[in-house]
Structure 1
């Protein structure tokens, strides 16, 4: 039995995509000051992370926690080799994002019709041409594009989501020119076997290096789902430092997979990330203090006990 475990072909390196400054803060009622956001992102930039999603250019009336998007992007300290990305919903959002000089635009939609309506206020079919315009203009401006598909493993309104829907949306987004697609377990319902079944289907159509996984830990299965994904050859994972965040349009969706917990597991498995644990934990403790509440990551809690 031990030999079969040790024979698993885990990757040598993994890329962690930090989404805390956007996905972690977007649903928080307590506004984190612009100055503190900038300080936090600057700390993250010196941890060894190579990708940080710093904010969202969604209309501020919908996401007031990120109403300072332009000021944040303009004033962060840019570290060479780090990509600074932002969520961009439409043409107007892209104009703002390009003026602030983001490195990459993230476009997003849902695999379930109802969640897409709740999240974007449009049907899936109505969403395609809007994202097509954003992708086309981003690429023309010399910016790369990343795609998000939400509710891949379950929808809070419709329940199970058709894998055919996921495939159709993924194919359409790749046709638009996205360089990578993040597959979201928006409400944290996925289980390891389900993850492997979905990936088994998707990896017959798309290369593993074009896919990333975005897990929420609502039911405590996020880390197990990462392990399943690693076994399927996935090497890119979205996470949020301290476990901050949740989808504002998905009732019951608690925090994201915690970056610090993910790093602990990968380090213990001998998988390289090039992230410095001490600097990452300093950044986690900084934002926890600014949030004035205990964040849900297990690693942070263990550090406070120690």
Structure 2
């Protein structure tokens, strides 16, 4: 009798499992967003890789570009500068891995997980700020004439500092908290406003330096204008058209307007590893630099040349 009951119980479990698989397939509840799986859709792209530059100093993690076209690269214990012809200008060794870069005027701000290193645009060490709090994971830094800001994924906070290093304010400490499930948390200054990727909520937010939230856009999904997976956009940069964003899960780079409207893909039909997004930078919206840590290579995207009209 016990063998029959055991067999019956096993049969019930098998049937239940089969039923769940059928239900899951029919309802599409397989969490395709989290896995980065979308239907086999190929989108038109007006951009292509114009040039590449391989970094030999170690694993590449971040990129920034100045208005005059100088490219700054950071990674495993180094910051370096490259001109527009992709010739090396200088290299500076650092004690720790660089997680993000920003350039403002004659100063480069290079973050490690706990500090911000200040470097002159000629490659000389200036000073180092921090550490700030325990458990810090600084993932993004941005600067302008008035402020230097950085995003701390470990403490889910954004710090706004004056240019002398004095703390001006912090975001994420009050009721309006940031949802940061993984160490992807980007911030950028634009006209003294802070643009912040609230990645766990799959949206972009605009804040004042004094802590007032002004607007937001974004929704989860795999549509061209949506943000996929658990935590996107992983990286973004401000450009004249609006934003260039990079996602993980579905490794795609796209351009959105300032209200979040989809404009176009820069790269969606690519062979980049889905789970490892590319850091992005652009000074003019016409040339987009994407840093791939997998192969330590900068991919330089430009618009495709249109065929001559007959």
The TM-score normalised by the length of structure 2 is 0.31
Q: Which has the higher helix share?
A: 1
Higher RCO (CA 8 Å, separation ≥ 6 residues): 1
The structure with the largest alpha-carbon Rg is 2
Higher strand fraction: Structure 1 or Structure 2? 2
Provide the TM-score with structure 1 as the length reference: 0.32
